[in-house]
Structure formats: structure tokens, C-alpha cells
Amino acid sequence: MTATTRIKRSKQMIRMVRPCELTSSDLIYPIFIREDKKKCEIQSMKGQRYYSLDDCVDVCNEVVELEIPAIMVFGIVKRKNDDGSVALQKNAFHVKIFKKLKKELGEDLLLVSNVCLCDYTLSESCVYLEKDKVLNEKTAEMLGKIAVAHAEAGADVVAPAAMCDGQVRHIRAALDREGFDDVAIMTYVKTDSCLFRPFFEAVTLAKTPRRGVDSSKFRTDIINEKMFMQKVNLDISEGADIVIVKPALTNLDHIFRVKQKYPTIPIAAYQVSGEYAMIKLLSEYAHVNEKDLLIETLSSIKRAGADMILTYYAVEAAKILQGKE
């Protein structure tokens, strides 16, 4: 008999020899909060819903009870403008969100803020462009201002999503200058992927997202691991505290590679909307057990080296892991 066969005889032994464990403490729940207060299911992400400023505290309390340490906030503003400067208004929607959540939940829940221009610009572009050329410095400077506004309102961590050069450097400098040197930067590094589509539909509230903007030009070529690592190297050199690998399932090798190269940098993996939909659809059409598939995918992401996982399944996963479902 081999060692594996002996160990697999006992559930207790299997648990004891595990080099890592998936728990609710690994999870981050991304939530969508709408300024127009419309509460409904998210069409492109069945099972997920929009929250309003009035009712988002309830779900946050549930998240805290389930020992999920953090949420990622996606605010959907009612009125965008050309340059996205609505983000900096005194009563900006995101400012209201962070003030409210910090007041209600205090230190019980870590608030992560998605920082990108597309949340505020009419064109839904993540960056400023001039004749198709990305204006890196101008974009990064604006992202720094947005990060400060969110930090001031109560965000604990900021997550720059535009993937433009210099964004982490500018945000770090802006936060430090304004006295928010304790606010961490969790930077997204994304590969090109069609798995983002259900998310775009969810945040743009439209079937044809990102009018006139090819956001794929900011992401790395899916088959080129060197390009991905160059982006990781850049963001870490600019001061990123945590790296988010996105999507997760198609980038398990990237998670592993970043972990090997930067063992002291925490890694987050984002199980994106398309991965969420794949699990839903497989359970619906192929009779695969949804809970089993969920835990299997999250376990593989954890095993690859992720220290934390952003997933729309966070609440369900925590219940399963705690034996509540």
C-alpha cells in the first residue's frame, strides 16, 4: 500500500496533511451598489443582485458574520461626465458609500475600493485617450485623486484597475501626501479575457458595453507570460502591496509564478463573472453539483498560491466551508 492510499483512508488524516486550507478568511465579496436605488437581480449574473445605499449594510453584516474579512465595492453612479470628475465632487456617490459603510461597520469589515475612470466617464473608458494614445500620466494623476477621495471617506484599500503605466506610483504618492500612508494598494493585473463580459454588462447596465473603447489594449496577451510578469514587476516596483491576478482559472500558472518570484507579496485572485457564470451554467445544464464545483475551483486557486480570492460566490462558499449549507 502506498502512503497516499493509507492517508486517504481517513478523513482526519486527509485534513491533517493539507499544506493549505481554504477558509472564509480567504474570501473577498465584490458588491454592486447603485445610486439610482434600483434593486434587482443582475441579469448577466444570475443569483447576484444590485444593492442601494440604504440596504447595502445588511449584506455587509452577513459578510462579517460569515467571517469574510473584506468586500470590494463597485459603485454605479447615476450621472457620469466627460472627464470623470464627478468622482471628486464633495457628495460623490462612492464617498457616500464609504462613509456609510465605515460608520456602520467600523473595523469589522475591510473596505476595498475599485479605482478606475470607467466608473465615472461618459465614454466608459478606463483611461484618458488622445487620438487613441493612452495618456498615462494624466490618467494616473486622476486615479491618485480618486484614491484619496475614497480613502478620506473610509476605504481601507484601493484597487487601481486601469492598468496604465504609473498608476500605482501616482496613487501611492497621492495617498502619502494626504496622510493616507496606511492605505494599501491592491493592483489588478489582468490578461485579455472574454470572461469579463457579464461584469461589464452588470456595471454599464447595457448589452453593448464600453462604447467605442477597446479596453483589451490595457490587458496582457493571454499566451504571453513574460508580458504579464513585466506588468507585475512594474506595479510592485511602483509600490503595490498586493497583486490581483484576474481572471483566476485561466491564470493559475500566473498565480504560481508571481508567488514563486515574490514570496512576500500577498496575491489575490479574482474569480471573475464569466467563471461565476460557468459554474452556474454547468450545474444547470450538465448536472454538475454547483457546491462541489465551486469548492473545487476555489481550492485550485488557493493551491496555485492565492492568499485571497475575490468571488461573487463568497457568501455561499463561506456557508459551505462552515457547514451552514
> Cell 493551491 belongs to which residue?
303
Strand partners, 7: none
What would the x/- binding string for Zn ion be over residues 229 to 268, using CB under 5 A? ----------------------------------------
Binding residues for Zn ion, total number by CB under 5 A: 4
Residues 201, 44: Cα–Cα separation, whole Å: 6
Q: How far is CA 67 from the centre of its chain?
A: 18
Among this protein's residues, is 246 annotated catalytic? yes
User: Is 66 or 163 the residue whose CB approaches Zn ion more closely?
Assistant: 163
CB closer to Zn ion, 66 vs 200: 200
CB closer to Zn ion, 42 vs 321: 42
C-alpha cell at 75: 459603485
What is the rounded distance in angstroms from the CA atom of residue 169 to the CA atom of residue 289?
A: 44
Give exposure, 2-35, as e/b (b: 16+ Cβ within 10 Å). Answer: eeeeeeeeeeeeeeeeeeeebebebbbbbbbbbb
Give me the least distance between CB of 203 and Zn ion, in Å please. 9
Dihedral of alpha carbons 177, 144, 112, 20, sign:
negative
| Type and span of the H or E element at 3 | helix 3-7
The binding track of 11-40 with respect to Zn ion, each residue x by CB under 5 A or -, is ------------------------------
Least CB distance to Zn ion at residue 275 (A): 19
Of 80, 145, 231, 246, which one is the catalytic site residue? 246
In whole angstroms, give the CA distance from residue 190 to residue 267: 13
User: Which is the catalytic residue, given 80, 100, 145, 190?
Assistant: 190
Cell numbers describing residue 294 = 465551486
The residue (of 109 and 118) whose beta carbon lies closer to Zn ion is: 118
As given in the structure block, the three cell numbers for residue 51 are 444593492
- For residue 163, state whether it binds Zn ion (rule: CB under 5 A): no
Q: How far is the CB of 118 from Zn ion (least distance, A)?
A: 3
From residue 111 to residue 140, the character string flagging contacts with Zn ion as x (rule: CB under 5 A) and all else as - is -----x-x-------x--------------
Q: CB of residue 5 vs Zn ion: minimum separation in angstroms?
A: 50
Q: Closer to Zn ion at the Cβ: 167 or 250?
A: 167
Distance CA 321, CA 68 (A): 11
- Whether the bond between 247 and the residue before it is cis, its omega within 30 degrees of 0, is yes
**Among the candidate windows 104-112, 160-168, 238-246, 281-289, which touches Zn ion by CB under 5 A?**
160-168
Q: Which is nearer to Zn ion, 143 or 304 (CB)?
A: 143
Do 31 and 51 form a contact (C-beta atoms < 8 A)? Answer: yes
Closest contact distance (angstroms) between CB of 71 and Zn ion is 18
The residues annotated with a catalytic role in the active site are: 190, 246
Site of interaction with Zn ion (CB under 5 A): 116, 118, 126, 161
